[in-house]
Homo-oligomer: A and B are copies of this chain.
């Protein structure tokens, strides 16, 4: 059985992130997800620089955001990012965003990243550094 790799971050909604109808502008959530992904990377050794130094970039190839409720200025949000075990040359994450105050579900999302070599070519088979990481993390 594989481990559950999960990271949790807290975000306080900024004044500038709220739009004219007092809700977080929907595009800003993409940044919240990236913040969670970066925190996950730092925790589990899969950060941007590690991928880069292994010879790869990992651009987001697919992102699906489902907005369940709104958030506004000074709300504190909790973003939970979970690694979804998959085969092949990709990284898939699931996300859940809730308000700290009352646990309201604000968003459910998922992202898929593919691997590109530094020459800009898509990697079709699983990169060695990823295989190694999966083994180490038991996922």
User: How far is B109's CA from A37's CA once the two chains are assembled, in angstroms?
Assistant: 22
Dominant secondary structure of chain A at its interface with chain B: mixed
User: How far is B49's CA from A15's CA once the two chains are assembled, in angstroms?
Assistant: 10
User: How far is B60's CA from A66's CA once the two chains are assembled, in angstroms?
Assistant: 9
**Pair B16/A18 contact, Cβ less than 8 Å:** no
**Pair A14/B34 contact, Cβ less than 8 Å:** yes
User: How far is B59's CA from A16's CA once the two chains are assembled, in angstroms?
Assistant: 12
Tell which of B21, B35, B59, B64 touches A23, judged by Cβ atoms closer than 8 Å. B59
Q: Is A30 an interface residue (CB 8 A)?
A: yes
A1-32 vs B, CB cutoff 8 Å, 1 = contact: the mask equals 00000000000001110111111011100110
Cβ of A95 to closest chain B Cβ, rounded Å:
14
- Stretch from A67-75, A86-94, A96-104, A130-138 contacting the other chain: A67-75
Cβ-closest chain B residue relative to A111: B26
